[in-house]
Amino acid sequence: MSKPAFTFPGQGSQAVGMGRDLADNFVEAREVFAEVDDALGLKLSAIMFEGPEDTLRLTENAQPALMATSMAVIRVLEARGVTVAGAASYVAGHSLGEYSALCAAGTFSLSDTARLLQIRGRAMQQAVPVGQGAMAALLGLEMDDVKAIAAEAAQGEVCDVANDNSPGQVVVSGNLAAIERAIELAKGKGAKRALALPVSAPFHCALMAPAAEAMREALAAVEMKAPVVPVVSNVLARPISDPGEIRNRLVEQVTGMVRWTESVSWLAKDAGVSELYELGTGKVLTGLAKRIDPGLTAQAVGTAEDIEALIAARG
């Protein structure tokens, strides 16, 4: 039996109050939040615990905040004998969650990960003027249909497939007008729903090229170690461990598609993983896992209660 895989949530899972329960109950969590605050020169933990929501939702805040909560869970588990190397066979994260996964597996230090995500969030936000880009979820269509819709909707603009989240849940990203055309085309082709997403920038599409360059520069400047377990890369949907390749794939990931369906399918079918633990805020990936492969058991671990239950279950 393969050991479980640890997964780490992406943007959209943030919520005011995130991490507070962990900080109230565990000194290790408080230490994580303090280190992230110091690294950013910003009282991010106060924004996480108390809001305001619109400040937390800013990409440059949401990304390190989600990572910090995931790492707080990891540090609490480690202090109780549940380590990534000992308990997990692989790590994987959705978009920014890939950085959380790499931090958990020891590739980046916590402070470097926080700074990288602040840079990433800022660069993604600045790549496209507000109001010029958009993303939309197209639900109930096959991937080939979505690719065809994106190609037809582009009309000389950008309309890329951004996230393959689960069968029947695919997200497109690009210029506002192109995304609006994609929504109408999807409705005409039998989508169950096609709706614009409340995001501040069109992530994971060609418009993010300036942010990819910013990350190339930022990643070149930080120390990277081989992860203690392989990371399943978003853009490859297979595991990698070489720091040089990880760096290159993280640059590609800014403009590339998050191949989450394929990543989870690889874990279940090729690696024989039967259990996923989603570490951090929310239960988005836990919900997607069941839709991708009904044979998987998935569990979210984000609160003191969840952590105690996991430790008790491991005996």
Q: At what angle do helices 59-79 and 110-127 cross, to 10 degrees?
A: 160
Give the SS3 label for residue 171.
Answer: strand
Cα–Cα distance between 183 and 34 in angstroms, integer? 43
Structure tokens at 41: 């020169």
Residue showing tokens 């582009």 = 154
Nearest to 105 by CA among 7, 29, 247: 7
Cα–Cα distance between 174 and 160 in angstroms, integer? 6
Residue 95 appears among annotated catalytic residues: yes
Q: What is the DSSP letter of 270?
A: I
Cα–Cα distance between 149 and 146 in angstroms, integer? 5
- End-to-end Cα distance, the chain: 18
Q: Amino acid letter at 306?
A: D
What phi, psi does 293 have (nearest 5°)? -150, 105
In this structure, the number of other CB atoms found within 10 A of the CB of residue 259 comes to 22
Residue 166 appears among annotated catalytic residues: no
Cα–Cα distance between 30 and 1 in angstroms, integer? 35
Give the SS3 label for residue 301.
Answer: strand
Q: Are 44 and 37 contacting, i.e. CB atoms less than 8 angstroms apart?
A: yes
User: Which residue among the candidates 45, 95, 100, 233 is catalytic per the annotation?
Assistant: 95
Cα–Cα distance between 279 and 94 in angstroms, integer? 12
Q: At what angle do helices 110-127 and 97-104 cross, to 10 degrees?
A: 170
User: Which residue among the candidates 13, 45, 204, 233 is catalytic per the annotation?
Assistant: 204
- Active-site residues, by number, are 95, 204
